[in-house]
A and B are shown apart, each in its own frame.
Chain A
């Protein structure tokens, strides 16, 4: 295809479209829906983190919500103690990244196959869920922050301007902050995947043995991708704690882990746009289902997941893009459609 497809042109287009959406959307949607939409944007960052390690790293992680939750808890505990949110924000990325590095070291260097990897990451998430649920006694306090067990941590202070704890991020400000973060993560990942490091990660996904014979230590590259994914998920967790001003062990639950997987598979693996699309779509459906009592939300999400695995295993975005590509090759006037392709 054209240079716009794979080159920097695509990234520029993505930035322009993203910024345009950030400006326009708050003007046209209802304020309550904007709050809802902010949560979709935050969760889309989480979806992107799994899109990276699963879609590009080929790592089947069933416990991505563990890093999300650790990030949220790290932020909450730190900000309650410190007041200023700058260091807590950094901690919300570093702590889950370190946790991912530790867990990844344990598993990649044992060369555990991907199916077992899925089960173990799921188990670790459940361990965290159970552990956090037992911390409601007054003994479980870190500084001024009571971890709260099943109750969770209420009244988490929002992000503030560095050095000025009284200048808070307002709720509409959070929409812009989350939107810009999503855009930055997306662009950052695009650039990373174009770099030598990114190409090696993809090469390992394609054929681990061949990559190793070429002299790349697959374990190290996988571990690095996994760690980056953990940090991004943690950042999303921090924003999520800001959004609800509340965090509880539910973030480590099975339902939360399942949701992340569903976003990515519905949107499509192997693209970065896919997880974002999947997240917005599935969350929107889930919200619609939540307001009616006829159809159970689990029933519908389960059906969607089975349906996609059986019928659209590549997910929406790649399937649609394939269709578009085929159509435009046949008609050979590709220009406006190519623009769309470039955002993927």
Chain B
């Protein structure tokens, strides 16, 4: 009954995980050894709460990927079993469910987390419990940890193209509106950097907590500052009221918008067309991409989820593709065990997927991918420009997992 021990939490959790198997677990019961016939993976996404618009398409995408792989014979002769956790947009549930997924469900890999906050809460848990983790959301860059693969797009891939493109199109004065947490703050910094690098000027910058719905006074401030365009990094359901209020004030036809987050929850489908027309976007994936791989994917996807499925978002596609990356790693390693799979993935796996060529960068565990710029018109996106195979240069500037495999840092890049 030692109360203070020198063993740290990691070895405690290991030993208690061992004890858990021998005791049998509440709820999971005898299923604890089911991994003999199946390979389990976990999905931890917000399927309810303020971020559900982002989480639901991601969940559909991971379900679809697992079904496809299983229908094609599974992995290493086993079926994949998906364990789903709804984190309910509640930060406290992330570490709890992450622990449960590993200790109770014994998953081989975990996929999920939407906000950077949720990733930073779960990442240490998975690292400590030796469970491979895929984070599939566009984010601010800088995560350097051998246990995680980030398939989302980072500022050096995105803002470096998006901001100059918009400045060429509309002018050099930018007003930034961003969500008030690390993603919004850091993305706003990157926007400032690429704006300055191209001789522009930030004439205003406002941050909003995720529950702010009233943008009335902000809209006055913007008119006073007279920017050439607005760059929005707004996140979640409450922030959609900005686009409504902006259009209600008649500003939608006067000052153009560029957004790094619009459409990641399929917002263009439920906001009125005049509220989103003309917004300039930049992503790896748009449903409108005109490639044979994407067309074939959409046909299969719509067969499964219905022809009227709202929109396959960037985040959903990254989630879908991350499962294929992982599966490729498992095949190559010949096992679902963590370290062999990481090594297999680090060998530079590259796949042709619906969003184009998708290759893992072994140095950063991020993905080299195509970048597309598009503009919303009547709930559809017209693709204006494409930049093939962009590297996550922001992260590779600070992170080298080949040289320094034990690195475990979230680098905040000084801009």
Chain A residue at minimum C-beta to C-beta distance from B410: A154
A33 at the interface (CB under 8 A from B): yes
Tell me what chain B mostly uses at the interface: helix, strand, loop, or mixed: mixed
A136–B1 alpha-carbon span in the complex (Å): 41
- CB within 8 Å of B: which A25-47 residues: 30-33, 35
Beta-carbon contact of B91 and A152 below 8 Å: yes
- CB within 8 Å of A: which B204-253 residues: 207, 209-211
Beta-carbon contact of A151 and B181 below 8 Å: yes
Residues of A within 8 A of B86 (CB): 293
Chain B residue at minimum C-beta to C-beta distance from A255: B90
Chain A residue at minimum C-beta to C-beta distance from B93: A290
- CB within 8 Å of B: which A74-94 residues: none
Chain A residue at minimum C-beta to C-beta distance from B96: A244
Assuming the A-B contacts A30-B23, A171-B13, are A248 and B3 also in contact, with contact meaning beta carbons closer than 8 angstroms in the complex?
no
- Besides the known contacts A35-B99, A168-B5, 20 further A-B residue pairs in the complex with CB atoms under 8 A apart: A31-B23, A33-B26, A136-B181, A136-B182, A137-B185, A148-B182, A150-B181, A166-B6, A167-B4, A168-B6, A168-B8, A170-B5, A170-B9, A171-B12, A171-B16, A172-B12, A173-B3, A173-B5, A244-B92, A246-B92
B7 at the interface (CB under 8 A from A): yes
- From B64-72, B113-121, B161-169, the one touching the partner chain is B113-121
Residues of B within 8 A of A23 (CB): 1
Residues of B within 8 A of A169 (CB): 3-4
Q: Which of B20, B184, B209 contacts A133 (CB 8 A)?
A: B209
Interface string of B75-108 (1 = CB under 8 A from A): 0000000000010001111010001100110000
Beta-carbon contact of B180 and A134 below 8 Å: yes
With most chain A CB atoms within 10 A of its CB, the pick from B1, B95, B184 is: B1
A175–B280 alpha-carbon span in the complex (Å): 53
Interface string of A1-38 (1 = CB under 8 A from B): 00000000000000000000001000000111101000
Beta-carbon contact of B117 and A152 below 8 Å: yes
A168–B27 alpha-carbon span in the complex (Å): 31
Which residues of A line the B interface, CB within 8 A?
A: 23, 30-33, 35, 130, 133-134, 136-138, 148-152, 154-155, 158, 160-161, 166-173, 176-177, 244-246, 248, 250, 290-291, 293
B25 at the interface (CB under 8 A from A): yes
Beta-carbon contact of A31 and B209 below 8 Å: no
Beta-carbon contact of A32 and B26 below 8 Å: yes
With most chain A CB atoms within 10 A of its CB, the pick from B23, B104, B182 is: B182
Assuming the A-B contacts A30-B23, A33-B26, are A151 and B182 also in contact, with contact meaning beta carbons closer than 8 angstroms in the complex?
yes
A290–B184 alpha-carbon span in the complex (Å): 30
Residues of A within 8 A of B115 (CB): 151
Beta-carbon contact of A155 and B124 below 8 Å: yes
Beta-carbon contact of A151 and B95 below 8 Å: no
CB distance from B217 to the nearest CB of A (A): 16
Q: Which of A31, A170, A177 contacts B7 (CB 8 A)?
A: A170
Residues of B within 8 A of A148 (CB): 117, 182
List the 5 closest A-B pairs by CB distance, nearest first.
A151-B117, A31-B16, A150-B181, A173-B3, A133-B209
CB distance from A24 to the nearest CB of B (A): 11
Residues of B within 8 A of A155 (CB): 124
Beta-carbon contact of B4 and A30 below 8 Å: no
Write 21 A-B pairs (CB below 8 A) sorted by A numbering. A32-B25, A32-B104, A33-B26, A137-B185, A150-B117, A150-B180, A151-B116, A151-B181, A151-B182, A152-B91, A154-B124, A160-B4, A161-B4, A167-B5, A168-B8, A170-B4, A170-B7, A173-B3, A173-B4, A246-B121, A250-B91
Beta-carbon contact of A30 and B5 below 8 Å: no
Residues of A within 8 A of B13 (CB): 171
Chain B residue at minimum C-beta to C-beta distance from A177: B3
CB distance from B393 to the nearest CB of A (A): 22
CB distance from A237 to the nearest CB of B (A): 14
Beta-carbon contact of B120 and A130 below 8 Å: no
Beta-carbon contact of A150 and B210 below 8 Å: yes
CB distance from A30 to the nearest CB of B (A): 6
- CB within 8 Å of A: which B6-41 residues: 6-9, 12-13, 16, 19-20, 23, 25-27
CB distance from A257 to the nearest CB of B (A): 15
CB distance from A182 to the nearest CB of B (A): 14
Chain B residue at minimum C-beta to C-beta distance from A133: B209
Residues of A within 8 A of B2 (CB): 173
CB distance from B124 to the nearest CB of A (A): 6
Interface string of B309-347 (1 = CB under 8 A from A): 000000000000000000000000000000000000000
A151–B207 alpha-carbon span in the complex (Å): 14
A30–B16 alpha-carbon span in the complex (Å): 9
Beta-carbon contact of A30 and B20 below 8 Å: yes
Beta-carbon contact of A149 and B5 below 8 Å: no
CB distance from B100 to the nearest CB of A (A): 7
A155–B123 alpha-carbon span in the complex (Å): 10
CB distance from A285 to the nearest CB of B (A): 16
A177–B2 alpha-carbon span in the complex (Å): 11
Residues of B within 8 A of A154 (CB): 120-121, 124
Beta-carbon contact of A32 and B181 below 8 Å: no
A152–B180 alpha-carbon span in the complex (Å): 12
Residues of A within 8 A of B7 (CB): 170
Assuming the A-B contacts A137-B207, A176-B3, are A250 and B182 also in contact, with contact meaning beta carbons closer than 8 angstroms in the complex?
no
Residues of A within 8 A of B184 (CB): 136
Residues of B within 8 A of A168 (CB): 4-6, 8-9
With most chain A CB atoms within 10 A of its CB, the pick from B20, B26, B91, B95 is: B91
Residues of A within 8 A of B124 (CB): 154-155
Chain B residue at minimum C-beta to C-beta distance from A160: B4
Chain A residue at minimum C-beta to C-beta distance from B5: A170
Interface string of B397-415 (1 = CB under 8 A from A): 0000000000000001000
Residues of A within 8 A of B12 (CB): 170-172
Q: Which of B5, B91, B99 contacts A248 (CB 8 A)?
A: B91
Residues of A within 8 A of B103 (CB): 32
Residues of B within 8 A of A137 (CB): 180, 185, 207
Q: Which of B3, B90, B180 contacts A250 (CB 8 A)?
A: B90
Beta-carbon contact of A151 and B120 below 8 Å: yes
